[in-house]
Structure 1
């Protein structure tokens, strides 16, 4: 039995670190904020040094609380956030362009003729959300110096001096061949990145190197992109099962097993993880704005924070006829229209802030329901339940709405911080190759199960209204 490990989840708005003991569970935690800059025109960027500082601060805080030595470190990352940096010194050459950043939209439009080929090679659509368009944008408009990579490769280099990325994170770039799980020369050429020095692609359970930033030397033995780390922690390891994480955005992933499944519903086909040389794949769908939409309502003064969703939204029986498409950063899967913006329809003089809150919960849940339907279609059979995690799962209103619109049970993880727990699992697997996956993952159990409380007919009507609003939004054309 291995000892405790330090698991670090470097996220969009903050970094969470846990000390996870095989026998006692979480024995220490720490966090540090990250403050991305949201700029006009859909630009989102952050100082890379803030990412590194948050990793160190959160990790040290978790270790201090645990007051117990750890034997290894695991790191989860944002996935599609990119920067250019100097591999000789480790110094950033640009800000980090966050996954939400849309500045590469024009470049994607220019490359649209290659869209089908890129999807076939890499499993990903041509969209600024993914890393490759942002990497190409940096090369065109910022600098040709150094290397341009996802943020995890830079963090790993600063922690250990090594130049690697895990297979699942590489799969979020749009540059990884989905079948061979190696860099695609064809995709690199399309993006004009053919001559780039790219990090080595390693398994999630790889002993990468050693770091001293947390104190005594510690091996870094686990690397995994955030949503796939949550998928692992939720024990979604068999084809047909699915999870959704409600964070800054909402992300639904469905396991497909040892073969990639290229569907036609608009979902992304990507690597779930590669462990001990064996690749598992998943389907992936995104809602760009979930907690970030709640923060938008908060900034408007409608509520004082996410903790008021239930109290305010629950004070009215329904949305009062209001439909909210919370596409505040564009529509992702299954529509892939990042150029559109959100809409509020059905407003009247009797509309209150409570109606807006309830309509937001319904809008998030309706988008996730569309993703679940798409996953079921691609998998060739219905999902049986949805396992969920993330901060917004604390909202009973949102979770009940999700169950109602899905017409499926919604099982809320009893273990918060699923992404960090997934990072802990791969760190343990990297430290002890004899460990089975089910032995490294915490026992999964729900803290609550929300069953549908409305009829299928009512759910269908509510979802049809949402789809009508999305259709109207798409028909209006790009946002100016």
Structure 2
């Protein structure tokens, strides 16, 4: 392809130092492919959003428990939101100096290495088709032997890696056993693996492949660490795990730094070769966007699900209570680790109530929830996708979302209030587990995600955990984190200190009620959670 011509005002002999400075003239794109929405923002040097576009992610449910995304539709949406955001900003594509991409984690696809054609739809992190495989492997003799041998070796060596291995279990949220399901059930994939013609990738890897017309194939450390196939202690794909479950290492992509020159967007897509300089998993990206750079900084994301992350510095921490170690980001020699606990069905619980016509506008629910002093015997358990940490490790996928009525009332407003209170109660449980298991002093707590707009949920959470919670002006932290990482890579921003100065806080929620005032409500909610466990397994 022909290269772009030099600027017309450039004269012979002009020094390189006088060339246009991207820090003064350009813009950075931050793009987030979430579970519900794909969104793009155009950022200027002050991290102001100059243009935006968003489209709803179309989720497919071909069978009960199966959750998929059509890759062709997602690709068209990805290209569209970028074009429309740039158009909305009133700028040209050649003014974009860098692209950062944040993606939902552990959602994956496989494709033909030679043709680039995919073998199946994206298998979402919410997908439950591998639930029987997860149960089988977690109760298997192999895993029991692994746990016992690692426990014994840890006793003598005190190795953190061996301690983590002694606690390792598979979950449906990992890519690992969903990938095994694909390898076992799709003959086309089996054949491609045998012919060494199969590529595996999470959404970031596949988008990179598409954007570069197949010339780039990679992922980053943050995304790799969420697949269940990666050893965060050795910072590479786990030969042990992949060999145990028979996943060939040959199908896994190279792992690069989070802020890295991954390649250029093919000119045919946007007309100019935009640098792709950041790939990052959505929760790690939100952590970066919130400027949670110090050990002890905490981020509470309330989007489709709830994710509580704490910066653990350069130390990986695996806990008995369910918080798991992740790579937050790697930039050069800097490796930042996180410990994360999560619970599903946060935004989905609000959406569920709206689909039942309990309210029309989500903004109205805050007023509805505030209008009641207590739930008057109505309790809601948000567990459409299982309970995760709330079930304390067991039977998480056999829990039904239920409304428990401990009195004779059934007013709509009470159901809405109970739904919102359940989210705050669950935040408290996650926070208590983190405090118990992660022995790092908390420095600050920052919130993001669509549900954090609800002042009732945020205030009740602040009351329950007795901590200040800082909500930023713009809550799309995954977009900002990806843009920030991209901007640092191309010199758009100088360093993280500059980003910290640019961050804008909208409101800080401070404790107003003592936790004891919620004690009876919390006790009854916990009872409701226990009643919901194993619900449809027994019936």
TM-score (norm 1): 0.94
Q: CA deviation at 1:102?
A: 0.9
Gaps of 5+ in 1: none
Report what 1:446 is aligned to.
Answer: 505
Q: Please state if 1:355 is matched with 2:414.
A: yes
Deviation readout 1:18-37 (Å, 9 max, x if unpaired):
11111362211111221102
Q: CA deviation at 1:222?
A: 0.7
Report what 2:467 is aligned to.
Answer: 408
Residues 1-80 of structure 1: matches in 2 within 5 Å? 2=23, 3-23=26-46, 25-38=48-61, 40-68=63-91, 69-80=95-106
Q: CA deviation at 1:333?
A: 2.2
How far apart are the structure 2 equivalents of 1:35 and 1:119?
Answer: 40
How far apart are the structure 2 equivalents of 1:276 and 1:191?
Answer: 32
Instruction: Assess if the C-alpha contact under 8 Å between 1:90 and 1:154 holds in 2.
Output: no
Q: Please state if 1:469 is matched with 2:528.
A: yes
Which among 148, 158, 169 is matched to residue 200 of structure 2?
148
SS in 2 for 1:23: coil
Q: CA deviation at 1:328?
A: 1.3
How far apart are the structure 1 equivalents of 2:459 and 2:537?
Answer: 33
Deviation readout 1:359-402 (Å, 9 max, x if unpaired):
11111111121111122222225645531111111211211221
Instruction: Assess if the C-alpha contact under 8 Å between 2:400 and 2:533 holds in 1.
Output: no
Report what 1:110 is aligned to.
Answer: 136
C-alpha distance 197-393 of structure 1, shift in aligned 2 (>3 A): same
Deviation readout 1:157-216 (Å, 9 max, x if unpaired):
001231100101000100111111100100111221035421110011110011032331
Deviation readout 1:117-156 (Å, 9 max, x if unpaired):
7983598641011111111111111232322321221111
C-alpha distance 430-124 of structure 1, shift in aligned 2 (>3 A): farther
Report what 1:185 is aligned to.
Answer: 239
Which among 100, 104, 110 is matched to residue 126 of structure 2?
100
Report what 1:300 is aligned to.
Answer: 356
Q: CA deviation at 1:275?
A: 1.1
Report what 1:135 is aligned to.
Answer: 179
In proportion to residue count, which structure has more helix? 2
Instruction: Assess if the C-alpha contact under 8 Å between 1:15 and 1:33 holds in 2.
Output: yes
How far apart are the structure 1 equivalents of 2:502 and 2:518?
Answer: 33
Identify the range of structure 1 (317-326 vs 142-151) with the bigger mean alpha-carbon deviation.
142-151
Which among 344, 350, 354 is matched to residue 403 of structure 2?
344
Report what 1:200 is aligned to.
Answer: 254
Q: CA deviation at 1:60?
A: 0.8
How far apart are the structure 1 equivalents of 2:530 and 2:295?
Answer: 31
Gaps of 5+ in 2: 1-21, 151-161, 193-197
How far apart are the structure 2 equivalents of 1:470 and 1:224?
Answer: 34
Identify the range of structure 1 (465-474 vs 263-272) with the bigger mean alpha-carbon deviation.
465-474
How far apart are the structure 1 equivalents of 2:167 and 2:294?
Answer: 20
Identify the range of structure 1 (351-360 vs 452-461) with the bigger mean alpha-carbon deviation.
452-461
Deviation readout 1:396-428 (Å, 9 max, x if unpaired):
121122122222222212222110000001111
How far apart are the structure 2 equivalents of 1:401 and 1:344?
Answer: 20
How far apart are the structure 2 equivalents of 1:210 and 1:189?
Answer: 34
Q: Tell me which stretches of 4 or more aligned residues in structure 1 moved more than 6 Å.
A: none
Q: Please state if 1:320 is matched with 2:372.
A: no
How far apart are the structure 1 equivalents of 2:241 and 2:400?
Answer: 29
Identify the range of structure 1 (251-260 vs 407-416) with the bigger mean alpha-carbon deviation.
407-416
How far apart are the structure 1 equivalents of 2:417 and 2:441?
Answer: 27
Instruction: Assess if the C-alpha contact under 8 Å between 2:329 and 2:335 holds in 1.
Output: yes
Deviation readout 1:65-110 (Å, 9 max, x if unpaired):
1223111111001111111212222222101111111111111112
Instruction: Assess if the C-alpha contact under 8 Å between 1:204 and 1:426 holds in 2.
Output: yes
Report what 1:169 is aligned to.
Answer: 223
Which among 291, 294, 297 is matched to residue 347 of structure 2?
291
C-alpha distance 375-168 of structure 1, shift in aligned 2 (>3 A): same
C-alpha distance 382-309 of structure 1, shift in aligned 2 (>3 A): farther
Identify the range of structure 1 (411-420 vs 118-127) with the bigger mean alpha-carbon deviation.
118-127
How far apart are the structure 2 equivalents of 1:458 and 1:137?
Answer: 48
C-alpha distance 433-21 of structure 1, shift in aligned 2 (>3 A): closer
SS in 1 for 2:259: coil
Report what 1:87 is aligned to.
Answer: 113
C-alpha distance 409-125 of structure 1, shift in aligned 2 (>3 A): farther
Report what 2:155 is aligned to.
Answer: none
TM-score (norm 2): 0.84
Q: Please state if 1:458 is matched with 2:514.
A: no
